[in-house]
Amino acid sequence: MRYTSEQFKNLSKKEFTKAAEKYEWKNAGVYKICRADYPDILAEIKKEDFNDLLDVWCATGPILSLLTQEFPDKHYVGLDLTPKMIEVAKKKKLKNVEFVVWDAEDLPFKENLFDIVICSQSFHHYPDPQKFFDSVAKVLRPGGKLILRDMHLWKLLSYFVNYIELPFLNRFGYWDVRIYNKSDLQKLCNNSWLTLECFEHRWMLKLHAIIRKWAAKQHTSVKNAFKSSINVYDDLLTWSKRWSKFYINYFWQWLDDKYVAERVLSFIPENFKWKLLDVPVGTAVFTYELYKKLNNAKIIWVDYSEDMLKIAKERMNSYKNVKLVQWDVWDLKFEDEEFDIVLSMNWFHCFPDKDKAWSETYRVLKKWWKLISCFYIRWEDKRTNRLVDKILSKKWFIPPFDTEESLKKRLNKMYKIENFSHEWSVVYFTAIKK
């Protein structure tokens, strides 16, 4: 029987705790393997203009020691699962280096923080590599790259190791999880909206991979995906076809989008007469009836899809209190604190640059006024999560996704949560800007 994720991690901590004090000894076996990677890693780093670098499973910080000598004015973070490794690393008192004890599969940093992430000779220890790739996609800045070095075997040999040797050795306390090949990395990249830019088999059975985050690619892919599905978009949300009813029933536990929309829109006062931003508006399938009643309000619809706006415009005809604008949510060309309500329905899980989207919606909202929103969050339903991971994340949804806990934590930094509810994997809330 294979170990659980937590058991694998505990075995790694146990073994590397023993190795921490002697990790950088000249003849230490593990360090010799890692040390051989440093020239290639350094060569890759020199290709980039960077300010912030993260070393994942940094051990006692040997490569960070070298980098602080080579690039002394840069900012570095070293992260490791084993407290003893970080304890030894901190004793070096490296300038411009922070050390953190944490799990590589759940990087504890805000979005778009690093230009480069290094992962050297630790990837084969990760029980859930997709979580690691999702975390890397979150913390890398657009255009940033992951330098991945690990063990690599030819196809037949890797099959033997992964399906025969490692399962057998795991029974006796061995903590390696899997050896990865190019197709494995390509799949992980696709699921996290990353690009496998380079994959090489180098000497001494070494894998050398460069993985890049391209926000522009994500943006274009999502835009094209919604353009290709524009004819079924409203049918899906309103259950107007048999296939859409089956889809909602089987994958979303009979989640009624109309009910959620009604709850969300009920947060807008009936006599609202100020300025409202709806971003992105989509086809306005749920909102146009409400907006017809808000004659005294000034309403701005924003969407980056020309096709969506065209349908929305047809619904509103000549209503003078509604203005349509084709912009991106992460580049809103409005003044600070211009709106009394910001409404965003069913979209935050689709944004490539979520951090920027949160920042922009916060910026344009007046203090003490409301953000009203609903969208997909990561929930405990395996069927829905499988649909998102295997299908929707290929085109329409963009990881990483908030959980209920992470969303509340995010909101509490900027807002006072007024209402917060969820129907299975969809959350809806109102929050007052502090």
Do 248 and 163 sit in the same domain of this protein? no
Do 171 and 243 sit in the same domain of this protein? no
Q: Which of 181, 213, 245 is the last residue of a domain?
A: 213
Do 269 and 194 sit in the same domain of this protein? no
Angle at 423 between CA 419 and CA 425, to 5 degrees: 110
Do 202 and 237 sit in the same domain of this protein? no
Q: Is residue 223 part of a domain?
A: no
Nearest alpha-carbon partner for 267 in 372, 353, 166, 367 = 372
Rounded distance, CA 287 to CA 263, Å?
Answer: 12
Do 105 and 171 sit in the same domain of this protein? yes
For 141-166, what is the mean pLDDT?
Answer: 86
Mean pLDDT of the chain: 87
Q: Is residue 251 part of a domain?
A: yes
Q: Is residue 361 part of a domain?
A: yes
Q: Which of 182, 213, 244 is the last residue of a domain?
A: 213
Name the residue with higher pLDDT: 146 or 282: 146
For 271-283, what is the mean pLDDT?
Answer: 93
Name the residue with higher pLDDT: 221 or 415: 415
Rounded distance, CA 151 to CA 355, Å?
Answer: 34
Nearest alpha-carbon partner for 120 in 85, 147, 99 = 147
Percent of all residues in the chain with a pLDDT value above 90, rounded to a whole number = 45
Query: pTM here?
Result: 0.61
- How does pLDDT run across 111-126, given as a tens digit for each residue? 889 999 999 999 999 9
Do 196 and 240 sit in the same domain of this protein? no
Rounded distance, CA 20 to CA 83, Å?
Answer: 9
Q: Is residue 326 part of a domain?
A: yes
CATH of the domain at 153: 3.40.50.150
Q: Is residue 222 part of a domain?
A: no
For 137-150, what is the mean pLDDT?
Answer: 92
- How does pLDDT run across 317-346, given as a tens digit for each residue? 767 889 988 888 877 989 999 999 999 998
Q: Is residue 162 part of a domain?
A: yes
Do 51 and 178 sit in the same domain of this protein? yes
Do 121 and 179 sit in the same domain of this protein? yes
Do 168 and 295 sit in the same domain of this protein? no
C-beta separation of 111 from 136 below 8 A: no
- How does pLDDT run across 69-100, given as a tens digit for each residue? 999 999 999 999 999 999 999 999 999 999 99
pLDDT of residue 391: 81
The answer, yes or no, to whether residue 231 has pLDDT greater than 70, is no
Do 198 and 305 sit in the same domain of this protein? no
Do 147 and 270 sit in the same domain of this protein? no
Do 199 and 344 sit in the same domain of this protein? no
Domain that holds residue 256: 231-433
Number of structural domains (the chain) is 2
